[in-house]
Amino acid sequence: MSGALRYDKYAHEPFAVTVDLAVLTLRAGALHVLLVERGQEPYAGRWALPGGFLLPDESAESAARRELAEETGLADVSGLRLDQLRTYSEPGRDPRMRVVSVAFTALLPDAPEAHGGGDAARARWVPYDDARELAFDHDRILADARTRIGDRLENTPAATAFCPPEFTLGELQQVYEAVWGTPLDRPNFRRKVLAVPGFVAPVPGGARLTGGRGKPAALYRAGPAATLHPPLLRPQREGRTT
């Protein structure tokens, strides 16, 4: 380590600060996560969440947005919503030195194929269940991200972030089913979604025809609500003591 920082009357060791991103999308009805292949030690050749170091004059949110653009080549990063997940600071989570990492979640509609860029040797969308044995403590970060997203689906319109600008209620239901891992009753789901003011709004005149196999579904857009009242609670989670 290089010199200690002088601050008040203490001498403080410096820390490296990074961001990690759990970027989730839905492909073919299954939850996928964006991973990059590490090019160097430690964990060379292992898959990891995209991320990187904070620059001297940017916030963690800015760094997360920059890294996302650099490592994935996504175009519309500016309009994308990033949510802080939590911060991981255990000593030893990076074998080389003290690294404190601020983790974020981001949700995308069905994704353009990612092309690795920046530090990442390669970038790929991986089915959530196949994303195991990641570098560092990224297994845990990813699990925390899924838990958090599942909770947010109950109280916020976050599910619409997985959908294109115009979507059917069937697509929205697929989001809930994929994230919660539970099948839902279609008529009841529709009734509850439409009962929440500001969750979704029908697009003025349209229905979707050519693609569908059955009766064409009505199209909706995300509504103005920031929170869902009443919430869309998951089916019976029993009271876990854990």
Partner DNA sequence: CCCTTTTATAGTCGGGCTGACCATAAAAGG
Partner DNA sequence: CCTTTTATGGTCAGCCCGACTATAAAAGGG
Residues that bind a copy of itself (CB under 8 A): 1-8, 10, 12-17, 40, 53-61, 84, 86-87, 89-91, 96-98, 100, 102, 119, 196-198, 224-231, 233, 236-242
Distance CA 195, CA 153 (A): 16
Residue 126 is a binding residue for DNA (CB under 7 A): no
**Largest pairwise CA distance in the chain:** 72
CA separation for the pair 183, 180 (Å, rounded): 8
In the list a copy of itself, DNA, none, the entry touching 209 (Cβ below 5 to 8 angstroms by class) is DNA
Q: Should residue 209 be labelled a site residue for DNA when binding is judged by CB under 7 A?
A: yes
d(CA 162, CA 25): 6
Q: Is 104 helix (H, G, I), strand (E, B) or coil?
A: strand
192 binds DNA (CB under 7 A): yes
Structural contact between residues 42 and 134, judged by C-beta atoms closer than 8 angstroms = no
CA-nearest of 141, 106, 55, 41 to 114 is 106
Query: 7 contacts which partner out of DNA, a copy of itself, none, CB within 5 to 8 A by kind?
Result: a copy of itself
Q: Is 215 in the site for DNA (CB under 7 A)?
A: yes
| Inter-residue contact 194 to 232 (CB < 8 Å) | no
Out of 66, 140, 190, 221, point to the residue binding DNA (CB under 7 A). 190
For position 29 contacting DNA by CB under 7 A, the verdict is no
Candidate ranges 30-38, 41-49, 50-58, 214-222; the one touching DNA (CB under 7 A): 214-222
Residue 182 interacts with DNA (CB under 7 A)? no
